[in-house]
Amino acid sequence: MISRFIFISVFILLFNCKDKEIQHPVKLDVATSNLSYSEGFDITHHENFSTLTIKSPWPKSDKTYRYALVQKNMASKITLNKDDFDGVITIPIEKMVVTSTTHIPALELLEVEETLVGFPGTDYISSEKTRTRIDNGNIRELGKNEGINTEVLLEIQPDVVVGFGIDGNNKTFETIKKSGIPVIYNGDWVEHSPLAKAEWIKFFGVLYNRAQKADSIFKSIEKNYLEAKSLASNALNKPSVLSGAMHKDIWYLPNGTSTEAQILKDANVNYLWNETEGTGSISLNFEVVFERAKNAEIWINPSYYTSYEALEKANQHYTKFDAFKNKTIYTIANTTGKTGGVLYYELGIARPDLVLKDIIKICHPELLNNYKPYFFKPLD
C-alpha cells in the first residue's frame, strides 16, 4: 500500500512539472554595474533579474524609483513582489515611447531606433534616420509632452514610456501607469557633468540587453572628450567668452558650475562668469552683462537668434559688444533638422565630445586644423 502511494505521488509530481514550469527563486545582489560619472541611476544585476534605480529623476528630488528588469525567457519562471518596485519590465524592449529629443541619440547609437513607436512633438526631432521613420508612419505623434495623447499611446501599446519630470507632478504619466504601461523617469539632464549626462546611454543599454555595446560607445565618447580636453590645455591664450542673450529684460547665462560652463573650462577659455555657483542659469540685467562682457572676444549661443540682423533688430544695444562688431558670434540655432528642430538640443547631451571640439575649434582654431564644427556655426 505504501509503495503504491509513493508511485502515485511521484506520478503526480512528474505530471505537474510537465504542466507547470518550476518557479525559480529570486536571488539578489550579484553585481552592480560600474558607472564612472553618473550619480542619478544605478543598475544592479541579480542572478535572474536586474534592478534599475533612478535616484535623481528631477532636481532636488527626494523620490527614488526602482524597476525590476526581467528577461523574456524568465518572465514566467520567477515571481516578484510588485509592491517592491515602481514597475516590472520585460526586456529586451520591443516597443518604446520616449519624451525628450535627448533620448533619440541613445536609441540610434545602440541601433534600436526601430523600436521607437511614438513621440510627443515629432517636429522637434532632427535626426535624418528617425525623421525618415516619422515620415513613413512608423512613429506616431503623441501631442505635447505635458499632455500626451493617451488615446494614441494606448493604441500603440509600448512596452515602456521613458519620461522626464520637473517635479513629479505629471497627471498624464499617472494615467499611463494606471493603464498597465510602465513609465521610467530619465534624469540625464539633472547630472552635473557632461560625461555624466552622456553615460546615461547605459540606462538604455540595459533595457535592450545591449549593456556591453552601451559601455563601449560611452568609453569611446569619454576617450574623445578627454583627448580634446588635453589638447585644449596646450593653448597659449584663453579668449574671453560671453554666452546667452536677453529674454524680455533679463540676460540668462550659464552659471559657473553648469555643464555648459564645464565644457568652456575644459576648452581652456576664459568664461566671464566661471566663478559663479548654483543650479540653473544666472539672471542679470543688461548693464551688468555689458560692463563685464563688452570687450569679450567671443560670444556663443545668443539665444535663438540666427543672424546679426535679427540680433540688432531685437536690441540695438547688442551692437555695442566687440563680438558683434568683430563678427565673432557663434550659434547653435542654425544647425537644424528639416522641420526646424535644433540638433544641439537632441545630440549635445549624448555627444559632449563633439560640443567640446566645437568650442575648441572656435576659440583655438590652430589646435584642430581639419575639424569642422558640428553644432556651432558663425552667426549669419
Q: Which residues of 93-110 are buried (b: 16+ CB within 10 A; e: fewer)?
A: beebbbbbbbbbbbbebb
pLDDT digits (tens, 9 = 90+) for 202-214: 999 999 999 999 9
Reduce the DSSP state of residue 48 to 3 states and report it: coil
The alpha carbons of the chain give a radius of gyration, in whole angstroms, of: 25
Alpha carbon distance 97, 122 (integer Å) = 12
Domain spanning 237-378 has what CATH number? 3.40.50.1980
Nearby residues of 88 by Cβ (< 8 Å), 6 or more positions away: 67, 68, 70, 80, 82, 182
C-alpha cell at 373: 564644427
More confident residue, 297 or 29: 297
| Strand ranges for 277-319 from DSSP E | 281-284, 298-300
Alpha carbon distance 268, 249 (integer Å) = 31
pLDDT cut 70: percent of the chain above it: 91
pLDDT digits (tens, 9 = 90+) for 52-110: 999 999 988 889 999 999 999 888 788 888 888 999 999 999 999 999 999 999 999 99
What is the band of 41 on the pLDDT scale with cuts at 50, 70, 90? very high
Alpha carbon distance 267, 198 (integer Å) = 18
Q: What's the pLDDT score for residue 19?
A: 42
Q: Is the pLDDT of residue 343 over 50?
A: yes
What is the band of 31 on the pLDDT scale with cuts at 50, 70, 90? low
Domain spans in the chain, listed from the N-terminal domain onward: 31-191, 237-378
Nearest to 241 by CA among 216, 263, 212: 263
Choice among 7-11, 136-140, 227-231 with the minimum mean pLDDT: 7-11
pLDDT cut 90: percent of the chain above it: 80
Chain mean pLDDT for the chain? 90
**Class of the 31-191 domain?**
alpha beta
pLDDT digits (tens, 9 = 90+) for 152-207: 999 999 999 999 888 878 888 989 999 999 999 999 999 999 999 999 999 999 99
Reduce the DSSP state of residue 271 to 3 states and report it: strand
Nearby residues of 53 by Cβ (< 8 Å), 6 or more positions away: 41, 42, 43, 44, 64, 65, 66, 67
Q: What's the pLDDT score for residue 32?
A: 65
pLDDT digits (tens, 9 = 90+) for 262-280: 999 999 999 999 999 877 7
Alpha carbon distance 93, 266 (integer Å) = 37
HSE-up (13 A, CA, CB side) for residue 380: 10
Backbone phi and psi for residue 54, each to the nearest 5 degrees, phi listed first: -100, 110
pLDDT digits (tens, 9 = 90+) for 220-252: 999 999 999 999 999 999 999 999 999 988 999
The total number of residues shown for the chain amounts to: 380
Q: What's the pLDDT score for residue 377?
A: 96
In which element (H, E) is residue 293 found?
Answer: helix 286-293
Q: Decide if 31-191 and 237-378 have a common fold.
A: yes
Nearby residues of 87 by Cβ (< 8 Å), 6 or more positions away: 67, 68, 160, 177, 182, 183, 184
